[in-house]
Amino acid sequence: MKEADVLIIGGSAAGMVTAMTGKSNWPKKDFILVKKQKDVMVPCGIPYIFGTLESIDKNIMPVDVALQKSGVKSLVDEAVNIDSENKVVTFASGDKIKYNKLVISTGSTPIKPSWLKGADLENVFTVPKDVVYLNEMKNKLGDAKNIAVIGAGFIGVELSDELSKHGYNVTLIEKMPNILNLAFDVEVADKISSLLTERGIKVITGKGIGRVLGEQKVEAIELEDGERLAIDAVVLSVGYKPNTKLAQDSGIFVDEDKFIAVNEYMRTHEKDVFAVGDCAQKRDFVTRSRVGTMLASTACAEARICGMNLFNLNVVKTFSGTIAIYSTCIGNTGFGTAGVTEQRAEMEGIATISGLFEGINRHPGNLPDAHKQIVKLVAAKNSGVIIGGEVIGGLEAGELTNVIGLAIQNRMSVNSFLTTQIGTHPCLTASPAAYPLIKAAEIIANKMLQNMKEE
């Protein structure tokens, strides 16, 4: 039987980064990573294979190169059983590997709602992180003219824009009152929605899909209210579920939402078994509630924690809860969100106070590539601690969102933002006199002052 000091099941971002971080921290240990397919997609790059990137080959993650450079062995196989008592994993090929430490990073699979009639017709797709499937899907979409994308989360929005760029007529359908409902409050989401509309995408919100119609192939869809749309292909992007059947069948504890339960070291209820990435349980940094956030960036953060704690739990290197930090762009407009929205905070019973400032990402605003920049900050009402932020701007929006993310992680308050130093440059950022992040904090500070006076 093969043996490994550390065995990792799953070769996407979470598995790869656990392996690399682990090997770098414990260089004398043997690491084996087993992945299901030879080629692994850059997960967040998937929507872009339909437009910007043209070919799927351009979106392959250099996992094998990275692992080899780090001194990690990799195999292609599929785990079918974990015997955590004897510390042995059995694979589809019949091979068995004995481990000292096991890391489960089996990822997630798109949800295909069981209640949706017609979901099994030809030309109804989901968006799995699967090279073979996506290649086939790209080919089949070739003939289509009218595509419906169901679900306006990040993947739905990005995919709609890319498919539209590629020349398809795209209708994006979202059941909730606004697109990107988990990530942005309505006033920001509406601006993104308008941008999609300007780019020729038909956006329908507040109405879910009823059923898919057709003989063999999709011919139309019917919305909840009976409205029918002639459609040649449907892409379902209504969420992902963790791949945890293997863990659960092997007796590793999963929570009521089927995520593998883990602690701050990413350790499962089995002492020598860790779980990271989409398949692992997450708690929100702010609300402390369990959340279903699935992000490659979160997965990588968890993977680093896991890699550093494999053989010796290190109390200063723990995972402090998931801060959902998302960003994306439509054309040259970038968007980002970090922490909780006002809406989410309200649902969780957190009293908030917010400030929104509209400025410009260059100074003077006459510079040729200047773009409107909007920052909304959400703070806890009494303490002024920043718990969330939303950004619209140019392509700097991604890193600007990370500034907010870091502020949340450092539990910075509005007051500390007021005294924060920021670097600015005409061609790279907003003006130092009207830097939207600080102006938004000022708005909150003034509201807090006003509240104090009124009380």
CB atoms within 10 A of CB 27: 10
Question: Which residue in 382, 383, 399, 451 binds a copy of itself (CB under 8 A)?
Answer: 399
Q: Smallest gap, in angstroms, from Cβ of residue 146 to a copy of itself?
A: 26
Q: Is 93 in the site for a copy of itself (CB under 8 A)?
A: no
Whichever of 148 and 325 has its CB closer to a copy of itself, that residue is: 325
Whichever of 209 and 294 has its CB closer to a copy of itself, that residue is: 294
Q: Is 44 in the site for a copy of itself (CB under 8 A)?
A: yes
Report whether 126 contacts 220 (CB < 8 A).
no
> Distance (Å, rounded) from C-alpha 247 to C-alpha 447?
49
Q: Smallest gap, in angstroms, from Cβ of residue 122 to a copy of itself?
A: 30
Question: Interface residues for a copy of itself in 55-74 (CB under 8 A)?
Answer: 58-61, 66
Q: Is 401 in the site for a copy of itself (CB under 8 A)?
A: yes
Burial 201-231 (b: 16+ CB within 10 A, else e): bbbbbeebbbebbbeeebbbbbbeeeeebeb
The H helix count followed by the E strand count for the chain is 11, 24
Return the amino acid letter for 326: Y
Whichever of 243 and 327 has its CB closer to a copy of itself, that residue is: 327
Q: Is 50 in the site for a copy of itself (CB under 8 A)?
A: no
Whichever of 229 and 403 has its CB closer to a copy of itself, that residue is: 403
CA angle 156, 158, 163 (to 5 degrees): 90
The site that binds a copy of itself (CB under 8 A) totals a number of residues, namely 86
Question: Which residue in 2, 3, 37, 52 binds a copy of itself (CB under 8 A)?
Answer: 52
> Distance (Å, rounded) from C-alpha 161 to C-alpha 101?
43
Question: Which residue in 32, 42, 182, 260 binds a copy of itself (CB under 8 A)?
Answer: 42
Q: Is 385 in the site for a copy of itself (CB under 8 A)?
A: no
Whichever of 347 and 449 has its CB closer to a copy of itself, that residue is: 449
Q: Return the sign of the alpha-carbon dihedral for residues 404, 405, 406, 408.
A: positive
Q: Tokens 């306006």, residue?
A: 152
Whichever of 123 and 281 has its CB closer to a copy of itself, that residue is: 281
> Distance (Å, rounded) from C-alpha 140 to C-alpha 249?
35
Whichever of 25 and 100 has its CB closer to a copy of itself, that residue is: 25
The phi and psi torsions of 152 (rounded to 5 degrees) equal -105, 50
Where does this chain touch a copy of itself (CB under 8 A) — which range of 187-195, 203-211, 212-220, 358-366? 358-366
Which residues does 336 contact at the CB level (< 8 Å), separation at least 6? Answer: 325, 326, 327, 328, 390, 391, 397, 398, 400, 401, 402, 404
Q: Smallest gap, in angstroms, from Cβ of residue 47 to a copy of itself?
A: 8
Whichever of 142 and 364 has its CB closer to a copy of itself, that residue is: 364
Whichever of 268 and 328 has its CB closer to a copy of itself, that residue is: 328
Q: Smallest gap, in angstroms, from Cβ of residue 297 to a copy of itself?
A: 4
Dihedral, CA atoms, 13, 18, 19, 21, nearest 10 degrees? 120
Q: Smallest gap, in angstroms, from Cβ of residue 324 to a copy of itself?
A: 8
Question: Interface residues for a copy of itself in 296-335 (CB under 8 A)?
Answer: 296-301, 304-305, 308, 316-320, 322-323, 325-329, 334
Question: Interface residues for a copy of itself in 411-450 (CB under 8 A)?
Answer: 412, 415, 418-429, 431-433, 435, 438, 442, 446, 449
Question: Interface residues for a copy of itself in 134-153 (CB under 8 A)?
Answer: none
Whichever of 91 and 435 has its CB closer to a copy of itself, that residue is: 435
Where does this chain touch a copy of itself (CB under 8 A) — which range of 30-38, 95-103, 244-252, 361-369? 361-369
Question: Which residue in 84, 363, 378, 436 binds a copy of itself (CB under 8 A)?
Answer: 363
Report whether 199 contacts 330 (CB < 8 A).
yes
Paired tokens of 61: 């993650």
Report whether 121 contacts 216 (CB < 8 A).
yes
In the chain, helix, strand, coil percent, each to 5? 30, 30, 40
Whichever of 90 and 415 has its CB closer to a copy of itself, that residue is: 415
> Distance (Å, rounded) from C-alpha 27 to C-alpha 72?
10
> Distance (Å, rounded) from C-alpha 439 to C-alpha 114?
47
Please, where are the H alpha helices in 383-435?
397-409, 414-418
CA angle 72, 77, 83 (to 5 degrees): 90
Question: Which residue in 92, 255, 406, 451 binds a copy of itself (CB under 8 A)?
Answer: 406
Q: Is 409 in the site for a copy of itself (CB under 8 A)?
A: yes
Q: Is 358 in the site for a copy of itself (CB under 8 A)?
A: no
Q: Is 254 in the site for a copy of itself (CB under 8 A)?
A: no
Q: Smallest gap, in angstroms, from Cβ of residue 303 to a copy of itself?
A: 8
Where does this chain touch a copy of itself (CB under 8 A) — which range of 88-96, 112-120, 123-131, 389-397? 389-397
Beta strands in 22-179 (DSSP E): 31-35, 73-76, 79-83, 88-91, 96-104, 108-110, 124-125, 146-150, 169-174
